[in-house]
Chain A
Amino acid sequence: MTLTLGLALVVAAAGAVAGALGALLGIGGGVFLVPVLVLGLHLPMQQAAGISLTTVIATSSTVSAGAAGRQLINLRLGMLLEVATAAGGLLGGITAQMLSPVLLQRLFSIVTAGIGLMTLARMHRKNTLEASADPGPWGGRFHDADSGGTVVYRLKRMPLALAGSFLAGNVSTLLGIGGGTIKVPLLTSWCGIPIRVAAATSAFMIGVTATSGAIIYYGEGAILPGYAAAAVLGVRFGSSAGMRLGARLGAKRLKLLLAVVLLLVSVSMAWRTV
């Protein structure tokens, strides 16, 4: 499909929403962009995933550049989990070229529905400890906008965090979604990480996860350059709007938004394959 000005604007607008979600929830926004490209613009799943991966990288770079220095990105935890996501991501990039588009869409739908429901079920869990608590080697402390004070958090269930990150890397490259959709709910619902830290650390990590897949898609010629350029420019504007909004939303609202986005995306993707 040749890229017209109107089409470029539509793609850029979708990119803006993706960027805002990335800034708010650390999920890269591919989870929103892929359905728009597949359902709205009738691109094949592989091309949609390729374009989406480039926007995930853009989201990650811009959001992390903006969040640097605010104590929300946990670099040590990010690096630990990144080992698992990068390995999973590389594997996903190779297998994505072998699976049928319909199967990929169904997988996408099932994965997002499952995570959305689990996030809702565990929404009221609090992950912050007293400022005097010991954060352990993988935890940290930060200024919590909700309570107005400094809080501490610890990493719980590290093997689960690692296994989930491997899965996140794999599914993310398969589906072009960056993997934050799995990591953020997992880290915040089971592993003791507050939603803001989970989002910022995930936003930081997804660039590398998406890169390990994007390299493969680029090599296969599956990234349409004009579409990717329009989407990435949209991301830039969306993510700065999202960062301003995110500072004002409470942790519970962020979790609810995460769950709603996941369920909506799941339904829209399932719609096409039945």
Chain B
Amino acid sequence: MNDDAYSLEMRLGRVLGVGSLVSMVLFAAGLAALFLGAGATLSDALVRAGLVILIGTPFARVVVMTLAYARRGEWRFVAMTGIVLLVLLAGVFVAMR
């Protein structure tokens, strides 16, 4: 594997690692709030924030990939990641109807 591919892979790994860690901390806090009696509203808000970050993490990794391939001028891959981004955005559009 060349250095470029390696550093991109590590960067994507960090994006995914941080996203999943933050969402898990929110989930743990949300469940703790529920079972320790801090209130269903607070619990629900924390868990929902975690869900949004969890679902947003793969989104962020596709954006990072698109930018990385664009910077290197690998337009075939920019087209591929761009299509995936469009499909994800179409999903958001359908979900918000």
Interface of A is mostly: helix
Chain B residues near A62 (CB-CB < 8 A): 16-17, 20
Chain B residues near A232 (CB-CB < 8 A): 23-24, 27, 50, 54
B84:A233 contact, CB within 8 angstroms: no
Chain A residues near B58 (CB-CB < 8 A): 57, 60-61, 207-208, 210-211
Given A5-B35, A86-B84, A208-B62, is A54 in contact with B95 using a C-beta cutoff of 8 Å? no
A105 to chain B, nearest CB (A): 24
- Looking at A30-38, A73-81, A107-115, A153-161, the stretch in contact with chain B turns out to be A73-81
A57:B80 contact, CB within 8 angstroms: no
- Looking at A118-126, A221-229, A243-251, A262-270, the stretch in contact with chain B turns out to be A221-229
Total count of chain B residues near the partner, CB < 8 A: 49
Q: Cβ of A216 < 8 Å from any Cβ of B?
A: yes
What mask results when residues 73 to 92 of chain B are scored 1 for a CB within 8 Å of chain A, else 0?
A: 00001001101100110111
- Which B residues, 46 to 80, have Cβ-Cβ distances below 8 Å to chain A? 47-48, 50-51, 54-55, 57-59, 61-62, 65, 77, 80
B91:A93 contact, CB within 8 angstroms: yes
Q: Cβ of A1 < 8 Å from any Cβ of B?
A: no
Chain A residues near B14 (CB-CB < 8 A): 65, 68
B26 to chain A, nearest CB (A): 8
A214:B55 contact, CB within 8 angstroms: yes
Contact of B88 among A68, A79, A215, A226 (CB under 8 A): A215
User: Which interface class (under 10, 10 to 19, 20 to 34, 35 or more) fits A?
Assistant: 35 or more
What mask results when residues 14 to 39 of chain A are scored 1 for a CB within 8 Å of chain B, else 0?
A: 00000000000000000000000000
Chain B residues near A185 (CB-CB < 8 A): none
Chain B residues near A198 (CB-CB < 8 A): none
A262 to chain B, nearest CB (A): 25
B9:A216 contact, CB within 8 angstroms: no
Cβ-closest chain A residue relative to B74: A76
Given A8-B31, A232-B54, is A58 in contact with B43 using a C-beta cutoff of 8 Å? no
Cβ-closest chain A residue relative to B97: A219
B31:A208 contact, CB within 8 angstroms: no
- 8 nearest interchain CB pairs? A68-B13, A219-B95, A65-B17, A229-B27, A61-B20, A207-B58, A215-B91, A61-B16
Residues of B at under 8 Å CB distance from A? 1, 5-6, 8-10, 12-14, 16-17, 19-20, 23-24, 27-28, 30-31, 34-35, 43-44, 47-48, 50-51, 54-55, 57-59, 61-62, 65, 77, 80-81, 83-84, 87-88, 90-92, 94-97
Q: List 29 A-B contacts (CB under 8 A).
A: A3-B34, A8-B31, A57-B55, A58-B20, A64-B12, A65-B20, A67-B13, A68-B13, A75-B5, A75-B65, A76-B77, A79-B65, A82-B80, A86-B84, A87-B83, A90-B90, A93-B91, A207-B58, A215-B91, A216-B95, A219-B95, A219-B97, A226-B30, A226-B31, A229-B28, A229-B30, A230-B27, A233-B27, A236-B24
Residues of A at under 8 Å CB distance from B? 3, 5, 8, 54, 57-58, 60-62, 64-69, 71, 73, 75-76, 79-80, 82-83, 86-87, 89-90, 93-94, 140-141, 207-208, 210-216, 218-220, 223, 225-226, 228-230, 232-233, 236
